[in-house]
Amino acid sequence: MKNVKPKFRVVAGGRGFMVAWVLLAASVVAGAIAVAELPAFLALIEAGILAVVVVLAFVALYQAAAKDLGTSMERSELKSIFGSIEDALVVYGSDFRITFFNHAAEKLFALSADATIGHVLSPRDVETAGWRTLAQVIFPSLAPRVISRTGEGEVPQVTDVSLTDPELELRVATAPVAGEDGHTLAFMKIIRDRTSQIAALRSKNEFVTVASHQLRGPVTDINWALQSLAQAPELGDTSKMIVTTAAAASTNLLRRIEDLLSIAKMEDGQVGYAFEDTDIVEYVGKILSDLLPAARKAGIKMYFDRPAETMPHVTIDPKRLSLAVTNILENAIRYNVQNGEVTVKIDTMKDKPYVVVSVKDTGIGIPQESLDKLFTKFYRADNAMKTQTEGSGLGLYIAKGILTAHGGQIWAESELNRGTTVSFALPTDPELVPKHETGAADLL
């Protein structure tokens, strides 16, 4: 009952309930007239009928007013919730008339809600001072750089929008607002400002790049000196073994530095891809031939299951992609067992314009809980670290970045102590190859 009284007072005091009070007052007046003019028996009957009618009308009007109040309160609550979220929220109709503009949107676009609500946006607003940024978000084709993150027809549509004046990195999610009948009433855009995050990532990459460049020169000189010293005929067996071990260590260190430089360039979108039409079968066969001596030295048999049918060509950067393929194959050799096998197979993807290259080994395998982390930076599974103490956990991360830049995908299947199959897909349709490089903005 404690909750009913306040609600009744709120409803009864609202404008929607004014008709009920007028009806009640009119009924009281009509009852008084009946009592004064009619015989007592007839007056009592008329007053009873009038009371029933008034009560029914009073209840109906109360329910209607309460419903209107509930709807109004729901709208007020939704407005409060949307107004307090950290991401900018803009709602507009099919005519591009803005109907909602929360506080975060005011801050991001430097426009007040009073000035924007009711305004009909058009591409011409990009030329109007103060409206340029908002117009580029609502009409992304006007922005300097736009990258779609979702497929055609997916809801919400997610795009990354990069602006230059001012410099902003935005992730925009667009979704329709439908009514009960499914008809689209409006559209809303949720805009997340990622400028500071990406600036921090780029600063980190700049530091890694500078530090790696500073290290690469001295380590290259040390590596050259050690390799030259290992060839000296006057060295004894013990000294030669020490120098050879040091040379191998410096070579590994130099490779780690090169990996860090590759990652920094990849994350900044500065690799510089040169795509060309390529026969994938001949391309993979050449890489396998180059790695065959290393496989034999490790005691691993390597097989190439050439496809019987003609494979479609792919559009790739042969130099960059060879780094990804080599990393995958070297892992298959390194984490294999003595007298193990590596089998490479190429096939087409069913119902999709892709070719799939799979590298299957008979090695130590990967725990199921590690498969999701396999292509992340610096990750190495526990059993891999026990088998091979050396390793940076960067090879497959680099491979994934290169394949993503080619419009491809990479995944793995494994059974512990039974082997692993790492597969990657490359598009056969050149239109599916991204027209931009993967950069820091693409990783957050």
Cα angle for residues 124, 128, 134 (degrees, 5° grid)? 80
Identify whether the C-beta of residue 439 lies closer than 8 Å to the C-beta of residue 364: no
pTM, two decimal places:
0.55
276-442 belongs to which CATH class? Answer: alpha beta
Query: Can you tell me the distance from the alpha carbon of 170 to that of 193, in angstroms, rounded to the nearest whole number?
Result: 5
Structural contact between residues 276 and 318, judged by C-beta atoms closer than 8 angstroms? yes
Nearest 5°: CA angle at 16, between 14 and 21?
A: 80
Residue 260's pLDDT band (cuts 50, 70, 90):
confident
- Reduce the DSSP state of residue 19 to 3 states and report it: helix
User: Smallest Cα–Cα separation from 420: which of 390, 443, 387?
Assistant: 387
pLDDT band at 9 (very low <50, low <70, confident <90, very high): low
Alpha helices in 38-188 (DSSP H): 40-84, 103-109, 113-116, 132-138
Q: Where are the domains of the chain?
A: 4-82, 85-193, 199-267, 276-442
Separation of alpha carbons 247 and 249, rounded Å: 5
The position carrying tokens 């008809």 is 183
Mean pLDDT score of the chain: 79
In the numeric block, the tokens 């102590």 are attached to: 417
**Residue 34: CB partners within 8 Å, gap ≥ 6?**
42, 43, 46, 47, 50
For residue range 205-220, list pLDDT tens digits in order: 666 666 766 777 888 8
Of 3.30.300.30, 3.30.450.20, 3.90.1150.10, 3.90.220.20, the CATH number of 85-193 is 3.30.450.20
For the chain, the maximum distance between any two Cα atoms, rounded to a whole number of angstroms, is 140
The CA distances from residue 68 to 11, 23, 55, 285, in Å, are 9, 19, 20, 73
pLDDT digits (tens, 9 = 90+) for 17-30: 444 444 445 455 45
